Structure 1
Amino acid sequence: MKFTYVLSGIGWADVSLEVEEQKFYFDASYISDALRDLLAGLLHLISGGRDDGDRTKPFYFNWYGEPTVARWMLELRDEEHVRIKIDVFPDESVVDMGGERQVPIDAIVPKNDLIHVVVSAIRLLIRTTGVIGYQSTWNHHEFPLQSFLKLYHYVTYNRHFPVTQTVDGYMEHTHSDLREEIRLLSLLLSEADTD
């Protein structure tokens, strides 16, 4: 499996995904926050990113290519595998009607392999552009640092990012360790030095 994600100009990303003989190439536009949506989908697979936390429900998101639309579906098949399906529609008007489309990817893949290839590509992206450079180039959308750190931690340590939950009266609070977050960023930088 191969995945690339490269900012190709102001508000555009060139994306490719190859799963065995199936290939998907797309020029994603800033109209949707493509990277944020993809990382949210991957987080859903490992921790139930929706409000109800139900990882068994498929996770859908759209990427806009002006005029094409790529509708992604990520569905947990079991704890080890995920179905990934990408439908490409000629324009937005036919997406909800289920009209004419191409299906460049419809495959069941190892969940951790998918997460690993995406995180590897995004590590390269962020080391190349930086957080501020990413926002300037992607046009309006910030780099999804929180989602990336959670996935980077998952890939590096094979476990969820550690958080603690506390209740203060009626308020629930989630706390993370800033030192751990900075340590992950430092690890990312040290990996860049060895590349």
Structure 2
Amino acid sequence: MKLSYELNGTGWADVKIELNDKSFDMRPSYLGEPLYDLVEAVFALSSYFNPSHRNVKTLKFSWDEEPSLCLWKLKKINDDTVYIEIKYDVDGIGDDTETVIQGECSIREFSEQLIRSMDAMIKEHGILGYLETWAGRDFPFTSYLIMKEYLLEETVERRELSKGKKPKMAYSSLKEEFDFVFRHLKAR
């Protein structure tokens, strides 16, 4: 399984997926949030990143290519495997769809491919540059940090601050988080 995701001008991305000896290129627009769709899918289907989402079995979302649509379906097979199906709707109406990708891969492999693309985007554009180039939502930095930390260290450190205050609040060190990213990203 291979996945690449790159920004290609204001409000456009180039996405390529390869699965089971088939590949498909997509060009989603700012009319949706395709990067968030992928990140949220990984979190929802994976017990690695967010154990409370274990009940999610199937996710569906679509990417607008103006006028065509890419219709995604991700189905959790077990804790380690996801079935991916992408249908291409040439006119965006729904009556002329073709299945272009289908097959299974490990959730970890899918996550690693997504993180690799996110690493490249943040290195090239930075956080603010991503926002301006995409012309939509911010770069999903928190989710990126959680996925990257887990994939590299197989843990996501959680801390709790009580100090007699209620409710209890979580906290982390901004310096540690950015040090972690720079250590593993080798940013320009």
Indicate whether the TM-score tops 0.5: yes
Amino acid corresponding to residue 99 of structure 2 in structure 1: V
Counterpart in the other structure of 2:23:
23
Rounded to whole Å, the distance in 1 between the matches of 2:114 and 2:67 is 25
- With 127-136 and 74-83 compared, the bigger mean Cα shift is at 74-83
CA RMSD of aligned residues (A): 2.6
Is structure 2 residue 98 aligned with structure 1 residue 102? yes
Normalising by the residue count of structure 1, what TM-score does the alignment of the two structures yield? Answer: 0.83
Is structure 2 residue 180 aligned with structure 1 residue 187? yes
Rounded to whole Å, the distance in 1 between the matches of 2:49 and 2:63 is 19
In the TM superposition, residue 146 of structure 1 has moved relative to its aligned partner by 1.6
In the TM superposition, residue 163 of structure 1 has moved relative to its aligned partner by 5.4
Is structure 2 residue 87 aligned with structure 1 residue 87? yes
In the TM superposition, residue 80 of structure 1 has moved relative to its aligned partner by 1.5
In the TM superposition, residue 87 of structure 1 has moved relative to its aligned partner by 1.3
Counterpart in the other structure of 2:143:
147
In the TM superposition, residue 91 of structure 1 has moved relative to its aligned partner by 3.3
- Structure 1 pair 65–49 and aligned structure 2 pair: CA distance change class (3 A): farther
- Structure 1 pair 193–26 and aligned structure 2 pair: CA distance change class (3 A): same
Partner deviation per Cα, 1:38-62 (whole Å, 9 max, x = no partner): 1000011224999x83444201111
Partner deviation per Cα, 1:165-186 (whole Å, 9 max, x = no partner): 98x77xx665241x1x543432
Partner deviation per Cα, 1:133-179 (whole Å, 9 max, x = no partner): 0000001321111221121122112234525598x77xx665241x1
In the TM superposition, residue 123 of structure 1 has moved relative to its aligned partner by 0.8
Asked if structure 1 preserves the Cα contact closer than 8 Å seen for 2:49 and 2:146, the reply is no
> Higher strand proportion, which one?
1
Number of equivalenced pairs: 185
Unpaired segments of 5 or more residues in structure 1? none
Rounded to whole Å, the distance in 2 between the matches of 1:74 and 1:160 is 24
In the TM superposition, residue 10 of structure 1 has moved relative to its aligned partner by 0.5
Aligned ranges 1:59-98 → 2 under 5 Å:
59-94=59-94
Normalising by the residue count of structure 2, what TM-score does the alignment of the two structures yield? Answer: 0.86
SS at match of 2:46: helix
Rounded to whole Å, the distance in 1 between the matches of 2:161 and 2:104 is 34
Asked if structure 2 preserves the Cα contact closer than 8 Å seen for 1:61 and 1:73, the reply is yes
Unpaired segments of 5 or more residues in structure 2? none
Partner deviation per Cα, 1:101-124 (whole Å, 9 max, x = no partner): 121211111111111111111111
